[in-house]
Amino acid sequence: MIIGIGTDIVEVPRIAAKLAKGEGFRNLVFTPYEITYCEKQAAPADSYAARFAAKEAVLKAMGTGWGNGGINFDEIEIRSDEAGKPEVYLIGKGAARYATMGIKKIWVSLSHEKSAAVAMVIIEG
């Protein structure tokens, strides 16, 4: 059974500009794993933007906001398996919400092209 669907599109230059301002945005939104992963990529801003879009899509699919009682961005981690397939891991309040919703699997797909990154999330229960 599908519990929720979320999608988000992000302008890569917007994320690149936030990253260029310093570590604040990066450390607020991304986990150490994500930072290490993105910084190793040929186009780090593209990878950060795709992960930001995925986090937004997860929040939409779960029906929660972020911060102020919702899930924080750094409580949603987007990892890649050995083949490069993205996977969603929830931490803290994200994991607690996962448990109460009866979630069995979170499916995620990411794509980026020049100026845009998009993510699609399906939550299965």
| Residues belonging to the active site | 60, 112
Looking at residue 36, its amino acid is: T
25 touches 68 (CB < 8 A): no
Q: Which residues are annotated as a binding site?
A: 8, 56
**Cα(82)–Cα(68) distance, integer angstroms:** 35
Which residue ranges are tagged as binding site for Mg(2+)? 8, 56
Phi, psi of 19 (to 5 degrees): -65, -35
Residue 42 in tokens: 């040929």
Residue 119, strand partner residues? 8, 110
